[in-house]
Amino acid sequence: MTTLQAPPTDLAPVVISARIDDFAVPHGREEEWRFTPIGEIAGFFEPDPAAGAVIAEDSSFVTVVDMDHDNAGRWLPVDRAAAVARAGAPRVVRVRVPDDTVVEEPIVVTLSGEAARNHAHVEVRLGRHSKATVVVAHDLAVDVSGALVTEIGDGAHLTMLSVMDGPATSVQLWHWPVRVGRDATFIGSTVTIGGRIVRMLPSVTYDGPGGSATLLGAFLADGGQFIEHRILVEHVAPHCTSSVIYKGALEGAGTHTVWVGDVVVRRDAVGTDTYEMNRNLLLDDGARADSVPNLELETGDIASAGHASATGRFDDQQLFYLQSRGIPEKVARQLVVRGFFVDVLSRLGSAHWRDTVLARIAQRLGMDPELESSLEETA
Amino acid sequence: MSTLQITDLHASVLTDEGPREILRGVTLTVDSGSTHAVMGPNGSGKSTLAYVIAGHPKYVVTQGSVTLDGQDVLTMSVDERARAGLFLAMQYPVEVPGVSVSNFLRTSATAMRGEAPKLRTWVKEMKEAMAALQMDPKFAERNVNEGFSGGEKKRHEILQLALMKPKIAILDETDSGLDVDALRAVSEGFNAFREETGAGTLLITHYTRILQYIHPDHVHVFVDGRIVESGGPELAAVLESDGYERFVSAGSTAS
Ligand SMILES: Nc1ncnc2c1ncn2[C@@H]1O[C@H](COP(=O)(O)OP(=O)(O)O)[C@@H](O)[C@H]1O
Ligand SMILES: [Mg+2]
């Protein structure tokens, strides 16, 4: 079941394998690790018998089962930490929605790690022509390395949200591989505002033509947090679309965020329509944001391809304008930060989550909850 | 009764090459109920005067004073100045992405009035003020100044003026770039505000056109960072027929 392959590209992973030893221990100069404070996560590169399982409460569509490595989804690890986690994860949190099923209420999966360090394997599988919303709330009280393996059946529609909200103390290393079925739709969002060291790596591939993937992200880092999002979209089928929009705000000395957006359009993926964008807002002079969009086209026969990346400071003109209308500086900043995030959050497909996240962002930035609720009320 | 008193005001703009003096001794008193037109050629420093009074961070005052009813304006923060009763309708209003007009206006009203206006009465108040300026109610859902036409921006400025009801209003080229319909709507909106509140006004303009709609009590010619001549409305007629030329040479000999 081990596969080794080297696709003809710089952007896709070179090694894909379930065997830990197929991956060297990273030294930190590799492209995919070059931003990460690797010394602080060394423990995740070796098997750890003391590591615990990540579980969730059973519910209508959610069960927790023992790991069966031969049936652990079609995804294989692409780095050593993922291989260690997959090999070491004792349990699988399984979210299954059968074919032709419309689930109205969001399926909320609240993860919980059993030990100080945990290996997680979460599988989300949506059957053909089904429709559901899945919210994965991560456990930020403990360290976790794992995968959120997602498969969307043909013609199905999955809205999914990964929420990392909690103390800024733990390490979170996650792969989020997504297979989008023929004519299927995926809206996958990451909200990352907790954790001390976070690596979230969504990757999308398509099982057939006509698939649509929208990847959205909002992240907020302060107090020396390291938050990294690496996105890989591999257009392997014709007439698929991808749209990647990530926005981050950061402040504080030593705070560091990384966004890498890799989009590969393979030779057969004619008619591809892809766009990726990352914008970062520096709230002070101490924080650092890296933003690297990469677009690789193996065919010119596409509908459209674009990318944009910008990192900017607080706009003094905006603050002046708002303040000149009597609005105190602190409130003006709150308005601007909220305004920065609101467009990406409005696309989550849920007003509830948009407002929840906006309120959490306001709270994290020490802003006024009363103002937040008055803004929601007016909006 | 309020008084904005500007005395011997000198100010510089902060540029990459260092500070550059723009205002070179402006003295002007604006009382409630009176409208002062300040007219001058491009680049003479009219907007700088407006920005300095409002407290824009790009400018530093090097000499002189600005008081509102005896209170030192220059030591106040930008928002304190607004809450003290100064309002600047900007020549180039700023886009604020993601902030809707309705959220912006209600937040501003909350700050200006010291408490959040009740939602129901607020919505009604905003609708009426917008209707008076012939603004589509949908306007409130758009983001502040984002993608607004020139006319929409200026109407939005006057809308704020109408809602915030300052003691002293400064209008910086509110007329520039407006077609006749927009100019009329904006002027009528302003005149209604002036009549209702009896506010004092500093009406900065490059053209005499707006003075057909908003009648000034005093006209000042502004050249090279200072007022070089003051008079009544008849001075505007002189500017209309003769232009600024005579005053520009007067300004440069004086400096
Ligand atoms: N932010 C700025 N940076 C550099 N120069 C400026 C800035 N703002 C204004 N100036 C200069 O100051 C002078 C006066 O400008 P301004 O006050 O805008 O004039 P007006 O409004 O009368 O056209 C001009 O020469 C202009 O180039
Ligand atoms: Mg000007």
Q: Which helix (H) or strand (E) holds A132?
A: strand A131-137
Which residues in chain B are contacts of A320 at CB distance < 8 A? 54-57, 78, 94
Would the pLDDT of A6 be above 60? no
The Cα–Cα gap between B10 and B7 comes to 9
User: Is there an atom of ligand 1 within 6 Å of B43 CB?
Assistant: yes
Longest dimension (CA), chain A: 65
Burial of A343 by CB count in 10 Å (0-12 exposed, 13-18 middle, 19+ buried)?
Answer: middle
Nearest to A334 by CA among A378, A358, A285, A367: A367
Which residues in chain A are contacts of B144 at CB distance < 8 A? 321
pLDDT tier for residue A312 given thresholds of 50, 70 and 90: very high
Which residues in chain B are contacts of A277 at CB distance < 8 A? none
Q: Do B90 and A329 touch (CB under 8 A)?
A: no
Nearest to A41 by CA among A92, A5, A82: A82
> What is residue A353's predicted lDDT score, i.e. its pLDDT?
82
Query: If you compute the radius of gyration of chain A from its CA atoms, what whole number of angstroms results?
Result: 20
Amino acid at B168: I
Q: Least CA distance to B140: which residue of chain A?
A: A379
> What is residue A322's predicted lDDT score, i.e. its pLDDT?
98
For A375, which of B103, B111, B164 is closest by C-beta distance?
B103
Q: Do B108 and A326 touch (CB under 8 A)?
A: yes
When pLDDT is averaged across residues B28-42 and rounded to a whole number, the result is 97
The Cα–Cα gap between A57 and A111 comes to 8
The nearest CA of chain A is from the CA of B253 a distance in Å of 35
Q: Do A378 and B82 touch (CB under 8 A)?
A: no
Residue of A315, A317, A321 for testing the chain B interface, max B β-carbons within 10 Å: A321
Length of chain B: 255
Neighbour order of strands in the sheet with B200-205: B86-89, B168-172, B200-205, B35-39, B218-223, B226-231
Q: Express each pLDDT in B56-109 by its tens digit.
A: 999 999 999 999 999 999 999 999 999 999 999 999 999 999 999 999 999 999
CA B251 to chain centre: 24
Contact between A136 and A62 (Cβ < 8 Å): no
Neighbour order of strands in the sheet with A273-282: A107-110, A131-137, A157-164, A185-192, A212-221, A241-250, A273-282, A304-313
The Cα–Cα gap between A35 and A97 comes to 37
Residue nearest to atom 16 of ligand 1 (CA): B45
Q: Do A323 and B78 touch (CB under 8 A)?
A: yes
Would the pLDDT of B33 be above 90? yes
Would the pLDDT of A371 be above 90? no
> What is residue A3's predicted lDDT score, i.e. its pLDDT?
40
When pLDDT is averaged across residues A58-80 and rounded to a whole number, the result is 91
The nearest CA of chain B is from the CA of A344 a distance in Å of 10
pLDDT tier for residue A212 given thresholds of 50, 70 and 90: very high
> What is residue B171's predicted lDDT score, i.e. its pLDDT?
98
Q: Least CA distance to B88: which residue of chain A?
A: A324
Q: Least CA distance to A337: which residue of chain B?
A: B98
> What is residue A75's predicted lDDT score, i.e. its pLDDT?
87
Who surrounds ion ligand 2 at CB < 5 A? B 46-47, 91
Query: If you compute the radius of gyration of chain B from its CA atoms, what whole number of angstroms results?
Result: 18
Q: Do A325 and B100 touch (CB under 8 A)?
A: no
Q: Do B111 and A328 touch (CB under 8 A)?
A: yes
> What is residue B251's predicted lDDT score, i.e. its pLDDT?
53
Q: Nearest bound ligand to CA B90?
A: 2
When pLDDT is averaged across residues A69-81 and rounded to a whole number, the result is 87
Q: Do B94 and A321 touch (CB under 8 A)?
A: yes
Atom of ligand 1 nearest to the CA of B173: 21
Contact between B37 and B203 (Cβ < 8 Å): yes
> What is residue B100's predicted lDDT score, i.e. its pLDDT?
94
The Cα–Cα gap between B142 and B128 comes to 18
> What is residue B252's predicted lDDT score, i.e. its pLDDT?
53
User: Is there an atom of ligand 1 within 6 Å of B44 CB?
Assistant: yes
Which residues in chain B are contacts of A379 at CB distance < 8 A? 100, 102-103
Q: Express each pLDDT in A249-288 by its tens digit.
A: 999 999 999 999 999 999 999 999 999 999 999 999 999 9
* DSSP code per residue over B40-61: --TTSSHHHHHHHHHT-TTEEE
Would the pLDDT of B250 be above 70? no
Query: Is A45 strand, coil or helix?
Result: helix
Comparing A5-14, A54-63, B59-68, B218-227, the range with the smallest average pLDDT is: A5-14
Q: Parallel, antiparallel, or unpaired: how do β-strands B71-72 and A304-313 relate?
A: unpaired
The Cα–Cα gap between B61 and B12 comes to 6
> What is residue A165's predicted lDDT score, i.e. its pLDDT?
94
* DSSP code per residue over A58-124: -BTTEEEEE--GGGS-S---SSHHHHHHHHH--EEEEEEE-TT-B--S-EEEE-EESSSEEEEEEEE
Separation in Å, CA A163 to CA A172, A356, B155: 12, 11, 42
Q: Nearest bound ligand to CA B58?
A: 1
Q: Least CA distance to A314: which residue of chain B?
A: B96
Beta-ladder partners of B89: B171
Nearest to A276 by CA among A322, A230, A326: A230
Query: How many interchain CB pairs under 8 A, A with B?
Result: 101
HSE, CB side, 13 Å, CA atoms: give it for residue B149. Answer: 8
Q: Nearest bound ligand to CA B43?
A: 1
pLDDT tier for residue A378 given thresholds of 50, 70 and 90: low
- ipTM of the modeled complex: 0.96
Contact between A237 and A206 (Cβ < 8 Å): yes
Would the pLDDT of B5 be above 50? yes
For B106, which of A317, A321, A374 is closest by C-beta distance?
A374
